[in-house]
């Protein structure tokens, strides 16, 4: 059986978990077995609906204590449940909570693990999972040789498969170890799609010359409904917040569209964004290395090109 | 307080990645080796900051790797840290590495274990979480801030779309990232002192790998950029809609 961990935040199931379900369900089909989801804590979502993304069953540990995330506690509960249900493959989203517990669960199950997978495993001979390595500069195919396998799947790398199926919901009583971690506050950035979940991203570099010039970029992001990112020197100089820093030492993203404005395309920057499906580069220097990694390029001054692009997008939206 | 800082050796960030032996091994020709940036900039410097505030703090560094990791360990010792341990195991299986670290951690009864958020080579982001299971200790991942208040640790971690603050006691395992500390450059005194700091070598004790790398692959090259006239942004919008189908 393939068991998929459902991550929640403030009683809402995370977007990354829907993708994890579809990924796990596709593996289950490949192996001729069932796909079963596991949710800890209480959520507002209707659990039977998880059938839509491919879960045959949803196991629910309905304990309010589990609404706040404690890696040690969650990993213990997931491992105990996986053992008692006889799961042979476990799937996690490779988001922040998934990263925190998937390796611990693997240890508790004596299972081999591949984190940050970016494709379905090959299961015809052995069990081989492809993941990104060198922060996006290459891929590695890794064989897991233990009876139980654990995979965390990179966000936006598989997508979702939707049907109108309905899952059966099973309430589970599991002993929950007591937590010795006290969450004292949560701070959310209001009204923004987290960068790792965004399908459209507009990103700015040192070419924008200062935080006071970010307006043109923000207008474009607003017109598109895109999230915003930046290069490392920009966040180092506090022109933009740290969580926007993408690249080898920032976050790695794979949106459908990445628009780079005034970014030269250093190897460390490309590592974080080169899995984007479509890359648009706007740079006044036609020799900028980023153009080699781009699908579409505009050689021109960002302060003229970006407002013109924003206007063209708004025009095409009002015509639609 | 005793702190154990996990140090990993990785290729320099400017490395152009290539493979040899039928794409089964990294081509190490011309590769410069560095301390994994997350280990160096954030976990090690954070440990040093804690020691600067409280001289009774002891910092031990641990690396799991062959003799070729020693220049990296000396560089880390030049930044700070009292002594280092190298477990002579060349494995790149996270499970093996974590078990080697856990064995040393149990013996040394550390109050705090710091790791980087991930290494920039295999990007497994696994060691801290694995130590959490192996040692049954609290684990906070992707931490951006750590303050000490008597025996209570106040840690801020990144969550999807924000930050969360938690309080916990020792012992604890924390994986560190940007925000935790500021990068430092070793000075001459540190470099001289590092030469004589103890570096203990411990033989490998774990060998049963759970995974192995079959081969590597480079991403396909882009087919070539399509340049668009800066005065014709309607054309770019059309291409994004009709050709790329992304908006
Ligand atoms: C260990 C290490 C790790 C690193 N990790 C990262 C990382 O994770 N992410 C990252 O981004 N970087 C990282 N870097 C830094 C990286 O090497 C580059 O220095 C950085 O990406 C450059 O940022 P930039 O493109 O914004 O600035 P620049 O390289 O200064 O480029 C600015 C660009 O803007 C263009 N420009 C100027 N004016 C205009 C205008 N009016 N209109 C249009 N274009 C204009 C210029 O032609 C130029 O191409 C790392 C470096 C090191 C050493």
Q: Give the pLDDT confidence of B200-239 residue by residue, as tens digits.
A: 999 999 989 999 999 999 988 788 999 999 999 999 999 9
Confidence of residue B91 (pLDDT cuts 50, 70, 90): very high
Q: Please check whether residue A177 lies inside any domain of the structure.
A: no
CATH number at residue A304: 3.40.50.1220
Q: What is the mean pLDDT of residues A214-236?
A: 97
Q: Who among A72, A278, A298 is closest to B138 (CB)?
A: A72
**d(Cα B77, Cα A233) in Å, to the nearest integer?**
28
- Rama region for A38: left / alpha / beta (φ>0; ψ in -120 to 50; rest): beta
pLDDT at position A156: 86
Instruction: Please check whether residue A56 is in contact with residue A48, taking contact to mean a CB–CB distance below 8 angstroms.
Output: no
pLDDT at position B118: 95
Please identify, among A171, A191, A221, the residue that sits at the C-terminal boundary of a domain.
A171
Structural domain span for residue A295: 200-319
Confidence of residue B65 (pLDDT cuts 50, 70, 90): very high
Q: Please check whether residue A56 lies inside any domain of the structure.
A: yes
Q: Who among B158, B216, B241 is closest to A139 (CB)?
A: B216
Rounded to the nearest angstrom, the minimum Cα separation between A203 and chain B is 16
Element (H, E) at B3: strand B2-6
ipTM: 0.95
Q: Could you give the percent of chain A with pLDDT greater than 90?
A: 90
Burial B136-162 (b: 16+ CB within 10 A, else e): ebbbbbbbbebebeeeebebbbbbbbe
If asked whether residues A167 and A205 sit together in one domain, one would say no
**d(Cα A66, Cα B203) in Å, to the nearest integer?**
41
pLDDT at position A252: 87
Confidence of residue A196 (pLDDT cuts 50, 70, 90): confident
B55/A contact by beta carbon, under 8 A: no
Question: Which residues in chain A are contacts of B167 at CB distance < 8 A?
Answer: 181-182, 184
Number of separate domains in chain A: 2
Residue-wise pLDDT tens digits, A142-184: 999 999 999 999 998 899 999 999 999 999 999 999 999 999 9
Q: Please check whether residue B244 lies inside any domain of the structure.
A: no
Question: Which residues in chain A are contacts of B237 at CB distance < 8 A?
Answer: 309, 312-313, 316
Q: Please check whether residue B92 lies inside any domain of the structure.
A: yes
Q: Is residue B166 over pLDDT 80?
A: yes
Q: What is the mean pLDDT of residues A221-233?
A: 97
Compute the distance from residue A306 Cα to the ligand 1 centre, in Å: 18
Q: Please check whether residue A21 lies inside any domain of the structure.
A: yes
Residue nearest to atom 48 of ligand 1 (CA): A264
Residue-wise pLDDT tens digits, B10-41: 999 999 999 999 999 999 999 999 999 999 99
Radius of gyration of chain A (CA): 21
Number of separate domains in chain B: 1
* Beta strands in chain A, from DSSP E residues, in sequence order: 2-6, 8-9, 12-13, 35-40, 57-61, 89-93, 112-117, 128-133, 138-144, 149-153, 168-171, 182-188, 200-204, 227-230, 257-261, 278-283, 296-299
What does the block give as tokens for B104?
A: 């040393």
Q: Do B179 and A242 touch (CB under 8 A)?
A: yes
pLDDT at position A211: 97
Question: Within B111-242, where are the H helices?
Answer: 127-135, 188-196, 233-238
Please give the full DSSP string across A146-167, using - where no structure is assigned.
SSSEEEEE-TTSS-----S---
Of the ranges A188-192, A237-241, B111-115, B141-145, which one carries the lowest mean pLDDT score? A188-192
If asked whether residues A124 and A250 sit together in one domain, one would say no
Q: Could you give the percent of chain A with pLDDT greater than 70?
A: 100
Residue A229 CA: distances (Å) to CA of A115, A200, A247, A269: 24, 10, 10, 11
Q: Is residue B96 over pLDDT 80?
A: yes
Q: What is the mean pLDDT of residues B118-137?
A: 96
If asked whether residues A93 and A154 sit together in one domain, one would say yes
Q: Please check whether residue A184 lies inside any domain of the structure.
A: no
pLDDT at position A2: 98
Number of inter-chain CB pairs under 8 A, A vs B = 272
If asked whether residues A65 and A13 sit together in one domain, one would say yes
Q: Please check whether residue B246 lies inside any domain of the structure.
A: no
Burial B90-129 (b: 16+ CB within 10 A, else e): ebbbbbbbbbbbbebbeeeebbbbbbbbbbbbbbbbbbbb
Q: Scanning the structure block, which residue is given the tokens 């014709």?
A: B232
Q: Please check whether residue B239 lies inside any domain of the structure.
A: no
**d(Cα B176, Cα B5) in Å, to the nearest integer?**
11
Structural domain span for residue B211: 2-219
Q: Please check whether residue B234 lies inside any domain of the structure.
A: no
Average pLDDT, chain B: 96
Q: Is residue B69 over pLDDT 90?
A: yes
Q: Please check whether residue B207 lies inside any domain of the structure.
A: yes
Q: What is the mean pLDDT of residues A275-292?
A: 96
B217/A contact by beta carbon, under 8 A: yes
Confidence of residue A251 (pLDDT cuts 50, 70, 90): confident
What does the block give as tokens for A313?
A: 């997008």
pLDDT at position A319: 84
């Amino acid at each position: 059986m393939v068991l998929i961990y459902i991550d929640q935040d403030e009683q809402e199931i995370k977007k990354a978990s829907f993708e994890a379900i579809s990924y796990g369900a596709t593996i289950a089909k490949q192996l001729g077995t069932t796909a079963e989801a596991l949710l800890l804590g209480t959520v507002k979502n209707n659990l039977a609906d998880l059938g839509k993304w491919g879960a045959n069953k949803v196991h629910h540990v309905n304990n309010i204590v589990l609404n706040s995330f404690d890696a040690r506690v969650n990993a213990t509960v997931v491992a105990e449940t996986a053992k008692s249900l006889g799961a042979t493959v476990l799937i996690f989203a490779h988001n922040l909570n998934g990263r925190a517990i998937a390796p611990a669960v693997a240890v508790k199950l004596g299972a081999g693990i591949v984190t940050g997978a970016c494709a379905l495993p090959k299961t015809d001979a052995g069990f081989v999972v492809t993941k990104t390595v060198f922060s996006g500069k290459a891929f590695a195919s890794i064989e897991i040789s233990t009876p139980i396998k654990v995979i965390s799947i990179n966000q936006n790398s598989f997508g979702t498969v939707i049907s109108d199926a309905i899952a059966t919901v099973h309430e589970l009583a599991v002993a929950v170890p007591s937590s010795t971690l006290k969450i004292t506050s949560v701070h959310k950035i209001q009204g923004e799609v987290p960068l790792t979940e965004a399908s459209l991203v507009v990103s700015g570099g040192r070419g924008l010359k200062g935080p006071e010039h970010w307006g043109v970029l923000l207008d474009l992001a607003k017109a598109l409904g895109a999230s915003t990112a930046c290069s490392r020197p920009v966040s180092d100089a506090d022109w933009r917040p740290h969580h926007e820093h993408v690249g080898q030492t920032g976050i790695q993203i794979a949106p459908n569209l990445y628009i780079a404005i005034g970014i030269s395309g250093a190897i460390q920057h490309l590592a974080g964004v080169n899995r984007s499906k479509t890359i648009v580069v706007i740079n006044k220097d036609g020799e900028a290395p980023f153009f080699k990694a781009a699908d579409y390029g505009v050689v021109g001054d960002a302060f003229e090109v970006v407002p013109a692009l924003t206007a063209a997008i708004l025009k095409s939206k009002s015509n639609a | 307080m005793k702190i154990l800082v996990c140090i990993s050796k990785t290729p320099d960030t400017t490395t152009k990645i290539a493979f040899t032996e039928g794409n089964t091994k990294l081509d190490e020709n011309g590769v410069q080796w560095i301390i994994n940036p997350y280990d160096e900039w954030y976990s090690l410097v954070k440990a040093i900051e804690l020691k600067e505030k409280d001289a009774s703090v002891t910092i031990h560094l641990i690396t799991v790797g062959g003799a070729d990791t020693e220049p990296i360990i000396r560089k880390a010792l030049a930044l700070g840290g009292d002594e280092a341990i190298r477990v002579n195991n060349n494995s790149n299986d996270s499970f093996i590495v974590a078990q080697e670290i856990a064995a040393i951690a149990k013996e040394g009864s550390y109050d705090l274990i710091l790791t980087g958020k991930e290494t920039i080579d295999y990007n497994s982001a696994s060691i801290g979480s694995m130590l959490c299971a192996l040692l049954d200790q609290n684990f906070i991942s992707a931490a951006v801030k750590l303050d000490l208040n008597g025996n209570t640790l106040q840690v801020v971690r990144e969550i999807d779309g924000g930050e969360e603050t938690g309080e916990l006691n020792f012992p604890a395992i924390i994986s560190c990232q940007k925000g935790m500390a500021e990068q430092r450059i070793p000075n001459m005194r540190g470099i001289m002192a590092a030469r004589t700091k103890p570096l203990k070598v411990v033989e490998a004790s774990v060998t049963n790998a759970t995974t192995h790398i079959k081969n590597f692959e480079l991403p396909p090259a882009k087919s070539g950029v399509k340049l668009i006239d800066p005065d014709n942004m309607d054309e770019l919008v059309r291409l994004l809609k009709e050709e790329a189908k992304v908006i």
